[in-house]
C-alpha cells in the first residue's frame, strides 16, 4: 500500500470520527515504514525480497502495536493528557491496519510474530515498488480506496 496508508485511516476516521484521533491514526499508519530506508536506497530489486529489511522488522508486526497500546496509554495518562486512550488506540489501530493491508502483497507480513517468524497473508498484490506503482490491479484498489475516502469525508 502507498496511498492506502492514508486513505484507509481516513475512511475509518470518516466512519468512527467521534472515537478516534486522526493525527494519531495517521502517524500510527505510517510508523511501520520507518524500516523502509534500506529498500529506498537499494540499487535494484533483490532476488528474494523477503530477505530485505523493509517489512521484515518488528515494526511490521501486529504484536508491537498491541504492546505499544497500554504503554502509550499509561505514558500519556501520566503526562495528564485527557484523551490518552483515544490517542493510544488510534495510533495502535493505525499500525495494525498498516500491517494487515500490506499482508495482501506477495511478500506477506509476520502476522503471528513472536509465535512465528513466517510471512503470512493473501498474497495477491506485487511487492516491488515499480511493479506495484504500475500494476492495474493496484491502481484499481488504491484508486477505489482514494475515492471512498474522498467521498466519505467531503459529502
Partner 1 sequence: MRENAKYVAFWVFMGLTLLGLVIWKIGIYTIVVIAPFLPLFIIAMVKMARELKK
Which residues here bind partner 1, judged by CB under 8 A? Answer: 2-3, 6-7, 10, 13, 22-23, 26-27, 30, 33-34, 36-37, 40-41, 130, 133-134, 139, 142-143, 146, 149-150, 153-154
CB of 81 to partner 1, least distance (A): 14
What cell does 57 get? 522488522
- Which residues fall within 8 angstroms of residue 76, CB to CB, at 6 or more apart? 84, 87, 88
Q: Identify the residue whose cell numbers are 494519531.
A: 24
CA 41 from centre of chain: 21
Q: Which is nearer to partner 1, 83 or 134 (CB)?
A: 134
Helices (H), 31-104: 37-41, 62-78, 84-102
Q: Which is nearer to partner 1, 47 or 130 (CB)?
A: 130
Q: Which is nearer to partner 1, 10 or 89 (CB)?
A: 10
CB of 147 to partner 1, least distance (A): 9
Find out whether 57 and 37 touch, Cβ atoms under 8 Å. Answer: no
CB of 69 to partner 1, least distance (A): 19
Q: Which is nearer to partner 1, 3 or 112 (CB)?
A: 3
Q: Which is nearer to partner 1, 112 or 148 (CB)?
A: 148
Distance CA 54, CA 56 (A): 5
User: For the chain, how long is the longest CA-to-CA vector?
Assistant: 50
CB of 117 to partner 1, least distance (A): 25
Distance CA 40, CA 129 (A): 9
Amino acid at each position: 500500500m502507498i496511498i492506502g496508508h492514508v486513505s484507509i485511516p481516513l475512511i475509518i476516521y470518516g466512519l468512527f470520527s467521534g472515537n478516534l484521533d486522526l493525527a494519531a491514526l495517521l502517524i500510527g499508519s505510517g510508523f511501520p515504514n520507518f524500516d523502509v530506508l534500506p529498500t529506498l536506497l537499494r540499487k535494484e530489486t533483490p532476488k528474494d525480497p523477503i530477505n530485505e529489511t523493509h517489512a521484515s522488522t518488528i515494526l511490521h508486526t501486529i504484536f508491537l502495536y498491541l504492546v505499544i497500546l497500554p504503554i502509550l496509554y499509561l505514558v500519556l495518562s501520566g503526562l495528564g493528557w485527557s484523551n490518552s486512550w483515544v490517542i493510544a488506540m488510534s495510533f495502535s489501530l493505525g499500525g495494525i491496519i498498516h500491517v494487515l493491508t500490506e499482508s495482501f502483497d506477495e511478500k506477506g507480513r509476520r502476522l503471528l510474530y513472536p509465535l512465528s517468524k513466517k510471512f503470512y497473508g493473501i498474497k495477491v498484490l506485487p511487492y516491488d515498488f515499480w511493479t506495484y506503482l504500475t500494476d492495474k490491479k493496484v491502481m484499481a484498489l488504491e484508486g477505489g480506496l482514494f475515492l471512498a475516502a474522498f467521498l466519505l469525508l467531503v459529502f
